[in-house]
Amino acid sequence: MDYAERMIFEKGKALLNQDVPKMLPAHNFYSLSCTTYADSYFHFNSYADNCMGVAIGIDPNFLHYGVPNDQCYKLLGYHLYFAKVLYDPEEQKQSIEQYIRNHCWAESEIDGLKDSILPDTYNAFLAVIKRPEFALEQEVRFIYRQDYGGCKTVGVPLGDEKFFSLDDFLDVVGLDATSSFDRVKKLKYGYFGNRIRKYYEFSLKPFGMTNVIKSITIGPRSRQNIDELNEYLASHNISSIKVLKSNIELRD
């Protein structure tokens, strides 16, 4: 995020003549790191126990299944969303510049918009820019943008005196209310990669497991039998998940 922040700073200085945003942007981002590659030796070898593990195929539209309608989904999408990571420096700079220019609309309106353009730019790009040397990952992030101040909408009326509450939904899936200014209660700490890190346990139950997981690809060195894995899934009423064997052939 330091790398992304420097790039946004440079464009903000050049296009808006601002050193720092006049309003505080969201700065707490948590992400689940995924990839566009379904069957990749790099990922199996690096993240799946030396190719002994599995690759889980996730439906990027699964959030639709957890909310009543598109209006609720749009509200939720401010806080939870999938985003493809940008690695190429020129693409990063062009994307930031285009975003700023699109938000300027007309030159005559720019002064009135300046206060919101730069923080919006930080919100849009801080969690989706990465150094070019990591391009082999082709990462797609499922992002939790924890912003207590930026989104004031608390819910959506559903009719018949029913109401979709954003804070209630976030509570059910294990995240924190947007209106919370007190000590964070659901944040947890774990030992990952030789250091203590913060994390949230995001629950998939409200969406239905088969709406989230669409496939399981067994790693090229895994000894797992496909038929037995299918039987296991069926025993948990999730037999619609497609089980595949990696096409990667490795020498002994």
Tell me what pLDDT residue 108 has: 47
Q: Average pLDDT in the 70-74 region?
A: 94
pLDDT value at 143 more than 60: yes
pTM: 0.88
> Residue 18 — pLDDT band, cuts 50, 70, 90?
confident
Q: Do 176 and 146 contact (CB within 8 A), yes or no?
A: yes
pLDDT value at 208 more than 80: yes
Tell me what pLDDT residue 87 has: 97
Residue 222 one-letter amino acid: S
Tell me what pLDDT residue 183 has: 58
Which of 16-30, 77-91, 108-122, 139-153 shows the lowest per-residue confidence on average (mean pLDDT)? 108-122
Q: How many Cα neighbours within 13 Å face the side chain of 188?
A: 9
Which range among 15-19, 151-155, 226-230 has the greatest average pLDDT? 226-230
Domain ranges of the chain: 2-50+77-208
Q: Average pLDDT in the 108-118 region?
A: 68
d(CA 114, CA 121): 11
d(CA 170, CA 49): 32
- Give the other-Cβ count within 10 Å of 90's Cβ: 8
Can you give the length of the chain in residues? 252
Specify the higher pLDDT residue, 93 or 110. Answer: 93
Torsion sign over Cα 85, 90, 92, 95: negative
CA Rg value for the chain: 21
187-206 per-residue burial string, b: 16 or more CB within 10 A, e: under 16? eeeeeeeeeeeeebeeeeee
pLDDT value at 110 more than 80: no
Q: Write out the two tokens for 138.
A: 């082709």
d(CA 79, CA 95): 21
Tell me which DSSP letter residue 117 carries. H
Tell me what pLDDT residue 227 has: 96
Q: Average pLDDT in the 35-45 region?
A: 95
pLDDT value at 180 more than 70: no
Which of 65-74, 184-193, 195-204 shows the lowest per-residue confidence on average (mean pLDDT)? 184-193
